[in-house]
Amino acid sequence: MSFFGFDTSGPPKADKDLQTLDFEDTYEGLGEHPEEEEDAFNDETFGADIKTGRDFDFGTAQPQAQHLSYAQAAQKPIVEDVLKPMASLWSDQTVPEQQPQRAPTSGPKVLSLEEIEAQLMGRPVQPPQMMQPQMYGQNGYPFIMPPNVNPQQFQQFQQQFGGQLPPGFMFPPQGYPGQPPMFMPGMPNQQGIPPQLQQQHLHQFQQAQAQQAQQVPAQFQVQHGQPQGPPQVQQVQQQQQQQQQQAQPVHPQAQAQAQAPIPAPAPQPQAPAQPAETQAQAPAQTPAPSQPQSAPRAQASSNGQKLPLDEFPVLGSASVREHPTQPAQQQSYQQRQYSQHSQNPQYLQNPQNRGRIQRPRQDLTPEEREKLIIRSNKVARITRSSGFMTPRDKDFVTRFQLSQIVSQDPFNEDFYHQIFKILRNPGGGAEDMSYIAQKYLDQSGHRLGGKNRRADVALQRMQQQISKAVTVAKERGERTGTLAREGALGKVSIGSIRQPRKQLVVKRSENATEDELKQLNRNPAKISKFTRQAQLNIIEKVYSILLGLETLEREAKPISTEELFEALHVLDVVSDEEEHPFISLLGYEKGMRLFSRCFHLLTPDQKNACLLCLFGNLQKLNVVLRGSYKNYETSNFVIPEAVEKKINVFQMTVMKTLVLYISEASFEQVLRFIIELESSNSVLFVCTSKIGLSLITVLISRLELIKQESNANLSEAELEAWSLTYDKLFANLEERLVLIYPPTLSSSKSASFKPDDDSYIWQFLASVALAGKLQHQRVIVDEVRDEIFGIMGKARVLSEEGNSLDSAKFIGNLNLFLNVMGLKASETDISEL
């Protein structure tokens, strides 16, 4: 068997003159002795490592016994503790052992160092062997380096060897720095040796055997009848284990020898194991300050040797078994190990290691192999920095990032985003933890749990982290603000998405705050309710109340609109000269939008009050007041663009809301509105504005609709009241009906051919005609006859010009009115339907 390319069959070919020892040559055939059959209890009687077939002359056979012990140990089974030699047989053995040592030791001692040096220099071809001498020095030459030699000497010895290592030499790269502690704790005591160490000894022994075969003079070996060449590996291993076990009883002796006057070391063959043991244990147990160099080197080399490569995946898989439920952790653990290897290029260059990385493809052509190397190098480069963070670190970073993003109350703190999503993507707006997690996974681009599988598991983990993150963020939110220090301008604050770190926080004393607030409050009190500032203030106040209510509404919580109604100032009583605050709100575009948003929240009573207020002050309404053409006599009755825009917004927001509400209001309600309108406004003025006219149209139409639909349900009094109101209204307009036509639209006064926007006038006339009796209709037609014929004339011209579309539009608008009376207009004449 060869390990790391070491040739166990014999000495290197370079030293041809050294005698080659062959197993067959040295084997004495002892195992074939017939009487072996009756040796069943020899082990118990004599111990395992006693050379059979020889006398027990330990004095002369000492160096040989060292080797014999290994060979004989192989005969013993591994479960050997019980098979210790009888104490009585061995107790007095130490005495003869110690005496004759000197003779054999002196020879090899001088030679060995130089010889090893020479071999080291002469054989660069076999790198695995090069680190052996160190071990060899400890093991193979027990007499040179006994366990009780003083540390300085030992260190010096090792340094010598260290200096002889070729400069480019490196120890096998899988020096798992984190791993020795992993098995070291498993050692029961100093003598107990983990399996890895036993392997180490195995190899040491192999080396020792081979080298000794070269170096020890042949006659010396022959004289002592060294019977075995390099034994078979398994045998050796067994021997080794046995040796370890036997080393224990010997150890105290070695200690005792340390005090002996003679520096001669332990004669026992087991003794050499001691330095190796202590050596290997040193890094794990004590820092071993006296051996600063030797300790790490021994560790590295022993790692390189003793850890068979095949054990690597076993270690990894052991961790897999430990954490079967944590695939990510396992993955990263293996990755980390891999990256450690990949950081060391030698690991990849080592064919065995490469074979592991690409284990399934071991039989490859050179080109494929080349590709494989390139690829694995690439992988190594990519993964060079991977595995620096433990799963814990990653979790921490993820949580930290999430805590910035995630909020407990997304509708409050991430309002725009949340609502926007609902608006743009109705139905899919349900925002939950999994969405955030998914989003985060998408954005950060890291997939927990691999490519496709386990995405759900990863999501779950993320969700757990999110809930953790929310907690963290919440706690931090409570903490912030408490760090402000008295007298300091700034404060220690942690920025978050919701509370960006403030550059400057000035802490005001409590008393000053109250005073300042009073000061601040005094000023608004002076501001008139009727200034623009006050009106805008009202709107903002309503807005903030509204937003609060809408949040409650979203959460399906009960709403109280009292505050909102109060803020609208609907019930305020003001003098005639002053503008009603509620009406003034509707003068601003955002006020109009605000009205349509908060109207549906109000209770029916509050809605009613709003509309009464609105109709009661209709002529003061901005869009009516400014929207009347009468204001613009100087500018040819053209309504300014800004006002036009406001009117449009009003139509889109407030009018829409009002029409919707009125179309479902009761007869009585609508009647009240129109009475209110009539009694407190100049109906004629209101009618000169588009909005005013439209509102009156809506009211009249609704009343007529209810009246015709459910005549029986209406009381006489109501019908009477409506009839009176209508008469009053009509009396207001009678003989001045033409005024409702803005000069810009009046077909009789203006040459405008714009077909737009006169429909509201015809609608108004239609509703008035509908509600009126025949005599009313006749009056109306009489008064607007010029307009009717003007429109017909325009339509005719347009039609002749080929613009039949606009022509038809004019006629269509006109017919809105005429149809009510059973008439129908064309471009040329008016006929009955």
Partner 1 sequence: MLFFSFFRTLVDQELKNGIEVKGFLKSMDQYLNLKLDNISMITDEVKFPQLVAVRNLFIRGSMVRYIHLNPQSISTDLLQDASRRGK
- Using CB under 8 A as the criterion, which residues of the chain lie in contact with partner 1 when the complex forms? 404-405, 412-421, 423-424, 443, 495-500, 540, 543-544, 547, 590, 593
- From CA 275, how far away is CA 147, in angstroms rounded? 5
Start-end of H helices in 259-310? 273-285, 294-306
Please, what is the minimum distance in Å from the beta carbon of residue 543 to partner 1?
Answer: 5
Other CB atoms within 10 Å distance of the CB of residue 358: 17
Asked if 347 and 341 touch (Cβ cutoff 8 Å), the reply is: yes
Please, which residues have CB within 8 angstroms of residue 137's CB and are 6 or more apart in sequence? Answer: 112, 116, 144, 145, 157, 158, 161
Tokens of 556: 């399906």
By C-beta, is 162 or 495 nearer to partner 1? Answer: 495
Please, what is the minimum distance in Å from the beta carbon of residue 415 to partner 1?
Answer: 5
By C-beta, is 444 or 603 nearer to partner 1? Answer: 444
By C-beta, is 281 or 653 nearer to partner 1? Answer: 653
By C-beta, is 500 or 802 nearer to partner 1? Answer: 500
SS3 content of the chain, % helix, strand, coil (to 5): 65, 0, 35
Start-end of H helices in 635-715? 641-650, 656-662, 667-680, 683-687, 690-709
By C-beta, is 357 or 536 nearer to partner 1? Answer: 536
Question: Max CA-CA distance within the chain?
Answer: 155
By C-beta, is 28 or 413 nearer to partner 1? Answer: 413
Asked if 540 and 590 touch (Cβ cutoff 8 Å), the reply is: no
By C-beta, is 353 or 418 nearer to partner 1? Answer: 418
CA distances for 31 relative to 42, 53, 148, 532, angstroms = 14, 10, 37, 119
First to last CA, the chain: 118
Residue type, position 358, single letter: Q
Strand partners, 83: none
Please, what is the minimum distance in Å from the beta carbon of residue 499 to partner 1?
Answer: 8
By C-beta, is 496 or 819 nearer to partner 1? Answer: 496
CA distances for 644 relative to 542, 582, 741, angstroms = 26, 21, 16
- From CA 44, how far away is CA 81, in angstroms rounded? 11
Please, what is the minimum distance in Å from the beta carbon of residue 440 to partner 1?
Answer: 10
Q: Token pair 């942690």 is at which residue?
A: 494
Q: Are strands 823-825 and 830-832 parallel, antiparallel or unpaired?
A: antiparallel
Please, what is the minimum distance in Å from the beta carbon of residue 593 to partner 1?
Answer: 7
Residue 823 is classified by DSSP as E
- Cα–Cα nearest to 132, from 177, 184, 171: 171
Please, what is the minimum distance in Å from the beta carbon of residue 469 to partner 1?
Answer: 13
By C-beta, is 123 or 421 nearer to partner 1? Answer: 421
Please, what is the minimum distance in Å from the beta carbon of residue 498 to partner 1?
Answer: 6
Please, what is the minimum distance in Å from the beta carbon of residue 436 to partner 1?
Answer: 11
Q: Go through 74-100 and write b for each residue having 16 or more CB atoms within 10 A of its CB, e for each that does not.
A: bbbeeebeeebbeeeeeeeebeebbeb
Return the CA Rg of the chain: 53
By C-beta, is 469 or 698 nearer to partner 1? Answer: 469
Please, what is the minimum distance in Å from the beta carbon of residue 651 to partner 1?
Answer: 17
- From CA 616, how far away is CA 583, in angstroms rounded? 10
Please, what is the minimum distance in Å from the beta carbon of residue 404 to partner 1?
Answer: 5
Please, which residues have CB within 8 angstroms of residue 525's CB and are 6 or more apart in sequence? Answer: none
By C-beta, is 396 or 420 nearer to partner 1? Answer: 420
Please, what is the minimum distance in Å from the beta carbon of residue 777 to partner 1?
Answer: 45
By C-beta, is 372 or 419 nearer to partner 1? Answer: 419
By C-beta, is 3 or 543 nearer to partner 1? Answer: 543
Residue 509 is classified by DSSP as P
Measure the CA angle with vertex 306, ends 302 and 307; round to 5°: 115
Please, which residues have CB within 8 angstroms of residue 609's CB and are 6 or more apart in sequence? Answer: 565, 570, 571
Please, what is the minimum distance in Å from the beta carbon of residue 389 to partner 1?
Answer: 20
By C-beta, is 18 or 405 nearer to partner 1? Answer: 405
Residue type, position 118, single letter: A
Please, what is the minimum distance in Å from the beta carbon of residue 694 to partner 1?
Answer: 24
Please, what is the minimum distance in Å from the beta carbon of residue 572 to partner 1?
Answer: 24
Alpha-carbon 622 to chain mean position = 54
